[in-house]
Amino acid sequence: MSRFWNDRVRGLTPYTPGEQPKLENLVKLNTNENPFGPSPQVIAAIKGVLDEGLRLYPDPDGQSLRRAIADWYQVTPQQVFLGNGSDEVLAHIFQGLFQTGQPVLFPDITYSFYPVYCGLYGLEAVTVPLDEGFRIDPAGFRQANGGVIFPNPNAPTGCLLPLAQVEEILQANPHRVVVVDEAYVDFGGESAIALVDRYDNLLVTQTLSKSRSLAGLRVGFAVGHEDLIAGLERVKNSFNSYPLDRLALAGAEAAFADGEYFQYTRNAVIAEREKLELGLQALGFNVLPSAANFLFVRHPEHDGAGLVQGLRQRGVIVRHFNKPRIDQYLRITVGTPEQNISLLDALPLVINEM
Ligand SMILES: Cc1ncc(COP(=O)(O)O)c(C=O)c1O
């Protein structure tokens, strides 16, 4: 605490990112990064712009990347907004498109950045409990609100809400923006981008951090009605006109150009997820059905925090949330075949020692 902090900063509860350990040789399964590297075409494209052109500012509107994303999803560039990671896109949405005076609604178990943005922008929040199977219940989103947001698949559960139920939530809130955060949708979901031309209150966010293996490049985007996008542009141009640098723009565009690599790595992650799920079940874990690149699991007989601690001592790091309803769960990112085997080999030893 410093006497120079203003009241807003004193009241903040910032987000705690997953650990990025300095030690090498750890099996790092804690922050849902893609275990496979980015497309070689992405690396080549970034190298291709590493020249004296860096003295110039990048395109403030990222027109070329917007067109590439628009072509991928069969929408117009005016329906696409870019940000420095989808976290920045989300921040602008909370600031510019959610109404004050009524609470923002999101699930009780969800991405823990949402309450942080409410705190930052002075928005009230109300959480809607997941059902006993940890699924989102559309009925909970019928109450008065200033906006709605949920990930699909949800995080950290990995559970998918079918598009018909996403539509129920959209139809119940015609006068409020409903944000579907699709950070993990490429690993098993059906994107709500298919619905943007039918619902002017729908905004879908996605990221290149997961399915396109570019967490280090920081590129995210939103797709929705062009009036929503124009509102986000107003916020962005009142904050930072150049959120994406020249390297990020070039790399991201190349990622969309290499559809073959995207399909290959996404299928590999899905196949590994299925193998890992079977391996964990064989060790007695309950595994929630996941459409993401991670699994949310608990062991009926062993304490969650103890398992996380024991794994850590054996060089395997997974994520644990010390929060109501989920403190017995581990969130495990799907790794390479070798990493997943290391985890499955370490677990019986950890359990034995408990
Ligand atoms: C549900 C969800 N949304 C958004 C993000 C942010 O992703 P990024 O800022 O890397 O695009 C994450 C990151 O883990 C996430 O889990």
Q: How far is the CA of 209 from the centre of ligand 1 (A)?
A: 8
Same domain, 274 and 152: no
Query: Is the pLDDT reported for residue 342 higher than 80?
Result: yes
Predicted confidence band at 53 (pLDDT cuts at 50, 70, 90)? very high
Counting ligand 1 atoms within 8 A of each CB, the residue from 161, 181, 217, 294 with the most, and so the one to mutate, is 181
Counting ligand 1 atoms within 8 A of each CB, the residue from 113, 182, 296, 319 with the most, and so the one to mutate, is 113
At 296-334, the pLDDT tens digits run 999 999 999 999 999 999 999 999 999 999 999 999 999
| Ligand 1 first shell, C-beta below 6 A | 32, 85-87, 111, 151, 155, 181, 183, 207, 209, 215, 220
Same domain, 202 and 296: no
Same domain, 144 and 241: yes
Query: Is the pLDDT reported for residue 72 higher than 80?
Result: yes
Residue 1 is predicted with a pLDDT of: 84
Does residue 29 lie in a domain region?
yes
Residue 19 is predicted with a pLDDT of: 81
Residue 126 is predicted with a pLDDT of: 98
Segment 94-118 shows an average pLDDT of 97
Residue 22 is predicted with a pLDDT of: 78
Domain stops at, among 257, 289, 306 = 257
Same domain, 32 and 175: no
Instruction: Indicate which atom in ligand 1 lies nearest the CA of residue 220.
Output: 11
Does residue 9 lie in a domain region?
no
Counting ligand 1 atoms within 8 A of each CB, the residue from 29, 207, 296, 321 with the most, and so the one to mutate, is 207
Same domain, 113 and 190: yes
Same domain, 265 and 253: no
Same domain, 218 and 283: no
Domain assignment of residue 214, given as a range: 40-257
For the chain, what percent of residues have pLDDT higher than 70? 100
Q: How far apart are CA 291 and CA 160, in angstroms?
A: 6
Segment 76-84 shows an average pLDDT of 98
Query: Is the pLDDT reported for residue 23 higher than 80?
Result: no
Domain stops at, among 224, 257, 290 = 257
Predicted confidence band at 20 (pLDDT cuts at 50, 70, 90)? confident
Residue 44 is predicted with a pLDDT of: 98
Residue 21 is predicted with a pLDDT of: 83
Predicted confidence band at 24 (pLDDT cuts at 50, 70, 90)? confident
Same domain, 240 and 274: no
Residue 25 is predicted with a pLDDT of: 84
Looking up residue 273, the CATH number of its domain turns out to be 3.90.1150.10
Same domain, 93 and 226: yes
Does residue 205 lie in a domain region?
yes
Does residue 1 lie in a domain region?
no
Residue 16 is predicted with a pLDDT of: 87
Domain stops at, among 233, 257, 281 = 257
Instruction: Indicate which atom in ligand 1 lies nearest the CA of residue 207.
Output: 11
pTM of the complete model beyond 0.95: yes
Same domain, 178 and 204: yes
Same domain, 50 and 122: yes
Looking up residue 192, the CATH number of its domain turns out to be 3.40.640.10
Contact 216, 64 (CB under 8 A): no
* Domains identified in the chain, total number: 2
- For ligand 1, atom 3, the nearest C-alpha belongs to 183
Residue 17 is predicted with a pLDDT of: 85
Same domain, 47 and 180: yes
Q: How far is the CA of 319 from the centre of ligand 1 (A)?
A: 15
At 154-190, the pLDDT tens digits run 999 999 999 999 999 999 999 999 999 999 999 999 9
